[in-house]
């Protein structure tokens, strides 16, 4: 079976320092792939490369068999690949609703029907300031916001998905 999202022998880093050297993996529909490692080992660097914020110095990433080289991060988002940040995931001074619709002026609640069904607490907190949510609740809000962009979405993130 063709993996929805796959990466092979990825090499990436900053400047001359390649912190990720030859990492491979794949995420099939409905599955979760965990990338574990101690602090500073290169998890965030790998996520930035896979989401298109950092160029690959070697290897490749593919989406449904298509090479993602040269596909900018916002285009990857359009394909259904979202980067779930580990920190500063929402605008704390804005309400939950404004965080969800900031980038979607249509304010169409149908976009979030699945996310609201999964995370009903967000519905109860729509008018509240996001900064008053717990850290875990802010992560849920951030995931919901990504899920509203397209369906289905593949979320990639380091340290973000276990909270
Ligand atoms: N922009 C950068 N410039 C220079 N070095 C960086 C940069 N970003 C990360 N690094 C270094 O790359 C290594 C891996 O960092 P990172 O990917 O954030 O690790 P992790 O997320 O696994 O904790 C660390 O040694 C870090 O200091
Ligand atoms: Mg990190």
Number of domains in the chain: 2
160 inside domain:
no
Ligand nearest the Cα atom of residue 13: 1
pLDDT of 53 strictly over 80: yes
**Rounded mean pLDDT of 130-153?**
86
**The domain boundary residue, chosen from 61, 83, 105:** 83
Ligand 2 midpoint to CA 110 (Å): 33
73 inside domain:
yes
Q: How far apart are CA 12 and CA 17, in angstroms?
A: 8
Residues 18 and 64 in one domain: yes
Mutate to test the pocket of ligand 1, among 34, 35, 44, 157 (most ligand atoms within 8 A of CB): 44
- DSSP tally for the chain: helices H, then strands E: 6, 6
Q: How far apart are CA 77 and CA 88, in angstroms?
A: 19
90 inside domain:
no
**Rounded mean pLDDT of 6-21?**
95
Residues 71 and 9 in one domain: yes
Predicted confidence at residue 107, as pLDDT, reads 84
Kindly state the tokens that stand for 45.
Answer: 């660097």
154 inside domain:
no
pLDDT of 161 strictly over 90: no
Residues 112 and 78 in one domain: no
**Rounded mean pLDDT of 131-153?**
85
Residues 71 and 110 in one domain: no
40 inside domain:
yes
Query: Which DSSP string do the residues of 70-98 spell out, in sequence order?
Result: T--HHHHHHHTEEE--SSS-S-TTSBHHH
Structure confidence at residue 44 as a pLDDT band (50, 70, 90): very high
**The domain boundary residue, chosen from 30, 54, 83:** 83
Structure confidence at residue 71 as a pLDDT band (50, 70, 90): very high
pLDDT of 2 strictly over 60: no
pLDDT of 32 strictly over 70: yes
**Rounded mean pLDDT of 158-163?**
45
Cβ 157 under 6 angstroms from ligand 1: no
Residue 100 lies in domain: 96-147
Please, what is the average pLDDT of the chain?
Answer: 88
């Amino acid at each position: 079976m063709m993996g929805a999202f796959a990466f092979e022998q990825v090499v990436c880093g900053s400047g001359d320092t390649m912190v990720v050297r030859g990492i491979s993996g794949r995420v099939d529909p409905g599955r979760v792939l965990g990338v574990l490692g101690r602090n500073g080992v290169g998890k965030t660097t790998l996520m930035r490369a896979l989401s298109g914020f950092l160029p690959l110095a070697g290897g490749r990433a593919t989406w449904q068999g298509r090479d993602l080289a040269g596909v900018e991060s916002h285009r990857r988002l359009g394909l259904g690949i979202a980067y779930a940040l580990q920190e500063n995931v929402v605008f704390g001074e804005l309400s939950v609703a404004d965080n969800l619709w900031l980038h979607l002026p249509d304010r169409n609640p149908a976009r979030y029907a699945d996310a609201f069904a999964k995370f009903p607490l967000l519905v109860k907190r729509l008018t509240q300031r996001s900064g008053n949510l717990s850290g875990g609740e802010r992560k849920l809000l951030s995931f919901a916001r990504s899920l509203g962009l397209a369906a289905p979405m593949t979320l990639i993130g380091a340290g973000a998905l276990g909270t």
